[in-house]
Chain A
């Protein structure tokens, strides 16, 4: 899923045009206070037009008609913006719907493969039902594996074609309805009732059906409604003002058509028209990033995050420690050490062991040898000895942690050389793990095992710092190791020796200080912390419990995805703020276009204010109204794509956006209105 949809996709475009007209119903319009007032204005001017056909009026009837049409177009353009955003969501939902077809499920009477199978349609499966799924079957609904292990193709939701393993117990036990088992079998307990599955939820979110206004959107709507109310009073009161003026000068009073036009131009129609489209498009961008937001509020909150808690392993570092360097003991040749280290590790299947083999091959040119041919036997690592190694004819090679080797040598009657201890200390201080290699009672040297910090992560953390977000690394490692990795990765703080409870406590502590905390997690033991965090990104590969605890689900299961989530959240708010600023700044030019035109019939001297030198009062008013309607169309792409976000400080961001949308909003309408006026005159329409 998460198809990339072009902004001007034809089919969506067409249905959006149809829907723009359908949305003209009062029931729909009343939800948006700003556009609703334009709607009333359109009805009013339409009435005035009909009136003017039969009875003489102040202004020519064709003029009222054009104004009325322009106002209707303002409403329709607003509808169109919303319909276009919804259409894009619907296109995404369509792909998901295909996944949600009825599946014939093998319902079991008890949790055993041998129990009786009853064929049931997936729509009839309820929470707690138990089903058997075999190779080739589709998984009928969301659930958790209670028995068996299978590889599952989840490409229908994640878009990732490589199958994933799902097994009972542990952190990989959740399955999603609509995905397909490729091999083996599993028994699954269903965890969702019909219509409440993950896919159902995704569809309704993507379609925007369950979209609720977020707190910020609500606050903005209040502000826009308040501004609209002021402008309503400003325009309505202008009529009595000109009545007073006209009674003295003998001039004409301002016409109602013109005052309605003035009102529509002043009301923040641009942002009012695009507000819901911005919200829907934000959700859509999230889906394009392969993240499912379980609420619109979570996206917005993501923009406010100032603490980000990250697991060390898998997020900041690659999954496992790797050998990075060999340090020989005094008097030992490096080649001897390399040879011994390789022999001790050839049969070692642990990631550390494998990394030693790779290191000696790449750095010291030692190719892999067949250990069996050499008559060697491998001693695997055990928790008791904490040592592994290989026995060759006449040679006993061992590798292990410092203390384990120390006691091993002592039992052999040897002595641990003091000189090597300095190197061991250095490695430990750098956050590495020293592994001592011995042959018999002789220490040959040490292998430096190290956590490898992911490439580019340091830069990302620096970016976060500029955005004002503090990163905290959480790890079960000891203080020393954690400090070294924290320094290398460039995180702001770390929590060492951490248990899941510590993580929860850490989140609570920061929240008590007023911070908003984000974290990622996948395991069941992460669930309490996920539930506590303000923004919790659960990995799609994680357990059902983790997914339910989170408010965002990352289908790619990429722990650094949260950075994108934060950016999308910020972008959403910035787009709203920028268009509000633009909308309000526009009013200044509109005043200079309409006020002289509207009031010059009462006081001709007010024509002096016509600083744009617009051709006539009628062309001035028309130009302003046309500009006001068409600017909505021009800004739809911006509303859907979102304003570009720069990872800079708040101060700089405000400067940039004020310059573009504030100053731009001030100047553009002067140019636009003048141009439209020139065109109207050039075409001799006025």
Chain B
């Protein structure tokens, strides 16, 4: 890694850290119902929404009601999206007359967008109409991100309230999150992006003759790109307008758009740490969580960049001049901006890419897999990363609490068998489904027939697919032919379970925590923001992730890496 790269990474994180406090503060004000500066503009809209829908915004909900509303709302969102995809051909704003999407792919896509995964087994510019992109994809990009935020806020209220039966109102949280947080940020980013050349139109695809080949007519896809890309990055959705996602010049034309989009990937997940600190009235906790996430992310990001900057051994004998592994990377961005983006996008469960991960070095693939194998904790999706790491906190605090001889407590609330059961369920789901589905896919022709490179890399492709869907990430090793009924249906189910089955224990913990009273602090209380505890949480995360996936990583990227560099193992 060059000094220049390090400096660039340093400035990137400085900008993020500078934005954390104001945005975190703003999000806090929004969810606490305090004035946040945009009330004059959005206040009437908000109140109008409640009036039309008949929502009593003052009424709190128990965790079960909150969960029920969330599930019902998401289910309808998914059904609507499924329907749009199925009858796309008959709907307006379809200048290229794309046909309707087959059932299995529609199911997978609907599940993918409603769960904030944005795994794309379809190719955007050759299969989706403008209406589908705008009314289907972009709408879900907003709503799924807002759902993640709502779940996070509900869980946090469980910690900040005491002897209370309610966690706030789901409809209010959804409305405020979308209206006050996501919409303004997306507007700003979309305008900045279109100013830099990201397209935003409803024109038919442009036909042209290239200079090199004036005989063959070529097609240039058009569309409302900027508006979708903005929320795609901000809401850790990651579903690109075009198939190649942010590698496409219409989606990510300049170094500045690349930087803006990279900032957008981490912006809300990072700011939520500060929001959390404010909501529980202990800002140190928020900073500690941000610190933990950075410690988990930065070394892996550096490792990815270093690995990609190495020359490819196979090319040495061929006497090819190399500046690192440029296969599958855009010349506009180079190795550093591609590899760094990849780390950010896999860490945040965003999943948008600006380079082709399938062409990464084995260690690069390993790093991307590892960031997902940690679970959605550093930084994880919008909201989901926060509740992911809080689950890890509950388990870590339990072990640490025992070690200091006290019934474990987190943020002044006792951790009892019920919370333990729920936290374990929340943490178990991702590894269990990923391991199980990878196992099924690797021994059936349904799974193996989609693999483009047999051998350990083929295994990595399968593992990556189910890891990505199990983490609601959405990035892929695109060598895998994912648009088959098996991958569509198995993956669709995995995405739904990973998202909603985790939501149940998260809200259950929130409900049970809200009922408890605070345990007063004393010298016997273990603080959860000290360097020692940060070190402990990082170790616990690494050990849980490592122990769950070491064998599968060994049989995929590790074998690849050893073979790649010519080890023989004797």
| CB of B288 to closest CB in A, whole Å | 14
- Bound form: Cα–Cα A318–B79 in Å: 78
- Chain B contacts of A119 at CB under 8 A? none
Does A230 contact B439, Cβ atoms closer than 8 Å?
no
- Chain B contacts of A595 at CB under 8 A? 550-551, 554
Is B568 on the interface with A (CB-CB < 8 A)? yes
Is B552 on the interface with A (CB-CB < 8 A)? yes
- Bound form: Cα–Cα A218–B570 in Å: 47
Is A476 on the interface with B (CB-CB < 8 A)? no
Among B416, B458, B526, B547, point to the contact of A654 (Cβ < 8 A). Answer: B526
Does B406 contact A303, Cβ atoms closer than 8 Å?
yes
- Chain A contacts of B435 at CB under 8 A? 233-234, 237
Is A674 on the interface with B (CB-CB < 8 A)? no
Among A514, A572, A585, A605, point to the contact of B518 (Cβ < 8 A). Answer: A514
- Chain A contacts of B522 at CB under 8 A? 306, 468-470
Does A606 contact B400, Cβ atoms closer than 8 Å?
no
Does A591 contact B547, Cβ atoms closer than 8 Å?
yes
Interface residues of A in 580-614 (CB under 8 A from B): 580-581, 584-585, 587-588, 591, 595-596, 599-600, 602-609
Closest to A242 in B: B555
Closest to A466 in B: B523
- Bound form: Cα–Cα A219–B401 in Å: 12
Is B404 on the interface with A (CB-CB < 8 A)? yes
Does B421 contact A215, Cβ atoms closer than 8 Å?
no
Does B402 contact A580, Cβ atoms closer than 8 Å?
yes
- Bound form: Cα–Cα A246–B399 in Å: 40
Does A241 contact B455, Cβ atoms closer than 8 Å?
no
Interface residues of B in 528-556 (CB under 8 A from A): 530, 532-533, 536, 539, 543, 546-552, 554-555
- Bound form: Cα–Cα A467–B431 in Å: 39
Among A215, A245, A249, A581, point to the contact of B417 (Cβ < 8 A). Answer: A215
Interface residues of B in 502-541 (CB under 8 A from A): 517-520, 522-527, 530, 532-533, 536, 539
| CB of B467 to closest CB in A, whole Å | 13
- Chain A contacts of B432 at CB under 8 A? 229-230, 233
Is A300 on the interface with B (CB-CB < 8 A)? yes
Does A236 contact B406, Cβ atoms closer than 8 Å?
no
Given contacts A230-B548, A606-B558, contact A658 B455 (CB under 8 A): no
Closest to B437 in A: A237
Does A513 contact B406, Cβ atoms closer than 8 Å?
no
- Bound form: Cα–Cα A23–B3 in Å: 64
Is B318 on the interface with A (CB-CB < 8 A)? no
Does A243 contact B403, Cβ atoms closer than 8 Å?
no
Q: Contact mask A567-582 → B, CB, 8 Å, 1/0?
A: 0011111101110110
Interface residues of A in 172-214 (CB under 8 A from B): none
- Chain A contacts of B408 at CB under 8 A? 216
- Bound form: Cα–Cα A478–B432 in Å: 65
Does B543 contact A584, Cβ atoms closer than 8 Å?
yes
| CB of B457 to closest CB in A, whole Å | 10
- Chain B contacts of A365 at CB under 8 A? none
- Bound form: Cα–Cα A234–B412 in Å: 35
How many A-B residue pairs have C-beta atoms within 8 angstroms? Tell me: 225
Is A409 on the interface with B (CB-CB < 8 A)? no
- Bound form: Cα–Cα A585–B532 in Å: 17
Does B550 contact A591, Cβ atoms closer than 8 Å?
yes
Interface residues of A in 267-307 (CB under 8 A from B): 300-301, 303-304, 306
Does B532 contact A577, Cβ atoms closer than 8 Å?
no
- Chain A contacts of B550 at CB under 8 A? 234, 591, 595
Is A332 on the interface with B (CB-CB < 8 A)? no
Is A445 on the interface with B (CB-CB < 8 A)? no
Does A236 contact B439, Cβ atoms closer than 8 Å?
yes
Q: How large is the interface on B (under 10, 10 to 19, 20 to 34, 35 or more residues)?
A: 35 or more
Is A162 on the interface with B (CB-CB < 8 A)? no
Is A7 on the interface with B (CB-CB < 8 A)? no
Is B294 on the interface with A (CB-CB < 8 A)? no
Closest to B463 in A: A241
Does B563 contact A653, Cβ atoms closer than 8 Å?
no
Does A304 contact B436, Cβ atoms closer than 8 Å?
no
Does A469 contact B524, Cβ atoms closer than 8 Å?
yes
Does B415 contact A219, Cβ atoms closer than 8 Å?
yes
- Chain B contacts of A244 at CB under 8 A? 442-443, 448, 458-459
Does B404 contact A574, Cβ atoms closer than 8 Å?
yes
Given contacts A233-B431, A650-B525, A654-B532, contact A220 B402 (CB under 8 A): yes
Among A300, A581, A596, point to the contact of B407 (Cβ < 8 A). Answer: A300
Q: Contact mask A648-667 → B, CB, 8 Å, 1/0?
A: 01110111011001100000
- Bound form: Cα–Cα A571–B403 in Å: 9
Is A226 on the interface with B (CB-CB < 8 A)? yes
Closest to B428 in A: A226
- Chain B contacts of A600 at CB under 8 A? 569
- Bound form: Cα–Cα A580–B427 in Å: 18
Does B407 contact A249, Cβ atoms closer than 8 Å?
no
Given contacts A219-B415, A657-B404, contact A651 B448 (CB under 8 A): no
Does A306 contact B524, Cβ atoms closer than 8 Å?
yes
- Chain A contacts of B415 at CB under 8 A? 219
Among A226, A234, A653, point to the contact of B551 (Cβ < 8 A). Answer: A234
- Bound form: Cα–Cα A571–B399 in Å: 14
- Bound form: Cα–Cα A585–B399 in Å: 12
Closest to B569 in A: A607
Does A229 contact B525, Cβ atoms closer than 8 Å?
no
Among B401, B438, B458, B554, point to the contact of A577 (Cβ < 8 A). Answer: B401
Does B400 contact A577, Cβ atoms closer than 8 Å?
yes
| CB of B81 to closest CB in A, whole Å | 32
Is B440 on the interface with A (CB-CB < 8 A)? yes
Does B562 contact A605, Cβ atoms closer than 8 Å?
yes
Is A231 on the interface with B (CB-CB < 8 A)? yes
Is A429 on the interface with B (CB-CB < 8 A)? no
Is A248 on the interface with B (CB-CB < 8 A)? yes
Q: What are 19 A-B pairs at a CB distance below 8 A?
A: A215-B416, A223-B420, A226-B427, A234-B552, A240-B443, A241-B442, A244-B458, A245-B456, A304-B406, A468-B522, A577-B400, A584-B543, A599-B555, A605-B568, A645-B405, A650-B524, A651-B526, A654-B532, A654-B536
- Chain A interface residues toward B at CB < 8 A: 215-216, 218-220, 222-223, 225-226, 229-231, 233-245, 248-249, 266, 300-301, 303-304, 306, 465-470, 513-516, 569-574, 576-578, 580-581, 584-585, 587-588, 591, 595-596, 599-600, 602-609, 645, 649-651, 653-655, 657-658, 661-662
Kindly list 10 other residue pairs between chains A and B, CB separation below 8 angstroms, not including A249-B455, A654-B404. A223-B395, A223-B399, A226-B424, A230-B432, A234-B549, A238-B555, A467-B523, A573-B402, A595-B551, A609-B554
9 closest A-B pairs by beta carbon, nearest first, are: A468-B524, A577-B402, A570-B405, A607-B569, A468-B522, A577-B403, A226-B424, A468-B523, A244-B442
